[in-house]
Each structure stands twice: as C-alpha cells, then as structure tokens.
Structure 1
C-alpha cells in the first residue's frame, strides 16, 4: 500500500512539474472530450453542414446555406451549439472569410446568419471548430458552393 502511494505521488509530482494533469476516475463529456466530425445535409445547390459530436453525442454544427429558403438567407453561414458541455461551436468559412461563434452564449444557441452575396457557383470551404479556453478541435474543410 505504501509503495502504491509513493508511485501515485511520484506520477502526480512529475505531471505537475512538466505542466500535465493527472485524472482519475471515469471521464465525462465535459472533462474528457472526444470530438468527431462529419459532413451532412449535402445538397446539389451547394448547401451543407459540418456536424460535431462529443463522445458520440450531437454537439452542434456549422451550416452553409447556398440559396434562400423560407426564413434563411442564401450565401450565408451560421453556427449551432446544441450540447451544454462547456464547449463553444465556431463556423469558419475560408474564402471569403466569415466567422460565427457561439462562445459566450449558453447552450442551446444559434448564431445570427453571416451573409454576403457571392457569384453563383463560387466554391466555398467551411469547417467547424469546437473551442473552450485555449483548447480547440478542428474539423477538415468541406466544400460547397454559392
């Protein structure tokens, strides 16, 4: 028993000296994230979503809307945070650069649309970032069009 305590103390001390952390017990979605991403809602008109999951649970998404539909504008993107796990969702359009973030808002939260007219058929690349404090998890860029 005494040896086990010494080993645990040594591990904890080493982690503190090198700036790491020691976690014991089972992890939770907020404490031990495992983010995965997939493209979804792909439409021939260029519309698509990049969806984020935290430990298999739908966390949110970045959504590109190519054409106006009902109350949604065209050539527009926004971010959705659906999971109260402490992580914010950011939608990042590469070119032309646009950015929408849920950081600073309680979940569930949907950002306002970020809009701007683009030439019909122009290629767009978008990704989702999941962020909290200094930690960020990024999806790949996915392609649609205006």
Structure 2
C-alpha cells in the first residue's frame, strides 16, 4: 500500500472514530459549504500556491516556496485563512512530513513559514485540508520541487 493511501486511510479512520467525516476529491466538495481548490501551477523554481474557495469566495491558501525570495525562506510552506467562517486551513507536505495550520487562530491569519533544508530538485507533494473540527475536506496532492 502506498504511503499516500496509508495516510488517507489513517485520516479517514480517525475521523470516523471521533464521529467526523472526511471528503476527498480532485478539487471540489459536493456539499454546502462547497470548497474548491485552485492550483497555480509550478514555477520554474518549483514553487506553487493552492488557493481555497468556499462557495466561490476566496477563503485561504497553502503555499510552497522552493527558493529564498524577497525575505521569504526556501524549502518552506505556510497556510493562510481569510474568512471568519469557522473553517481552518492546513497545508500538509507529504515527505518530509510538515504541517502548517491556521487552527486556533482567528481569520485573517497567515502561519509562519515551516522550513527545513531539502536537496535541490527534490520532488515535494503538498495538499490542503479544510476543517471545522468535525468535517474535513482534502484537496488532491500537488507537486513541486525544492
């Protein structure tokens, strides 16, 4: 079983044990609220952003920054939440595992960068989780590189 599938199974099992639900998809959730994810595409240096929308309204983001630029560190990720709607944003890096979450912070909130040096060119996979503590919506994994 792949690492991605094991992690997805673990998340789904945990949610079921505590009475929550997990919705996974390739970019949209079919319930109200309706979360969608828009991938910016990967830049030549490996960076990318995933914007989150709730019923068409910009709700937040997850960001991977491959190289240092404008005072921001490289090999770094962060999450941001801009809506006071009771949902929080998590940026989840698959390997090496890293988590940036807005949970516990009022909107508008942008997490500090979560960093750690990676070999130049190493593939990274990141997804976004939107949760209210009971229900979680997951984006697909998006790829970039260090």
Number of equivalent positions: 117
Instruction: State the partner residue of 2:71.
Output: 71
1:98 aligns with 2:116: no
1:62 maps to: 62
> How far apart are residue 50 of structure 1 and its match?
1.3
Describe the shift of the 1:138–1:96 C-alpha distance in structure 2 as closer, same or farther (beyond 3 A): same
1:28-43 equivalences under 5 Å are 32-40=32-40, 42-43=42-43
- 1:1-146 to 2 correspondence within 5 Å? 32-40=32-40, 42-146=42-146
CA distance in 2 between counterparts of 1:139 and 1:128 reads: 5
Unaligned 5+ segments in structure 2 are 1-30
Asked if the contact 2:60/2:82 (under 8 Å) is kept, the reply is yes
User: TM-score w.r.t. structure 1 length?
Assistant: 0.77
- 1:89-109: CA deviation from partner (whole Å, max 9, x where unpaired): 000000000001001100000
**Residue in 2 aligned with 1:20?**
none
1:8: which partner in 2?
A: none
The Cα of 1:53 is off from its aligned counterpart by: 0.5
Moved over 4 A (4+): none
Q: Aligned equivalents of 1:109 and 1:57: distance in 2?
A: 16
Aligned partners of 1:51 and 1:128 also within 8 Å: no
TM-score by length of 2: 0.77
Mark the structure with the bigger radius of gyration: 1
Q: Once structures 1 and 2 are overlaid, which stretch shifts more, 101-110 or 42-51?
A: 42-51
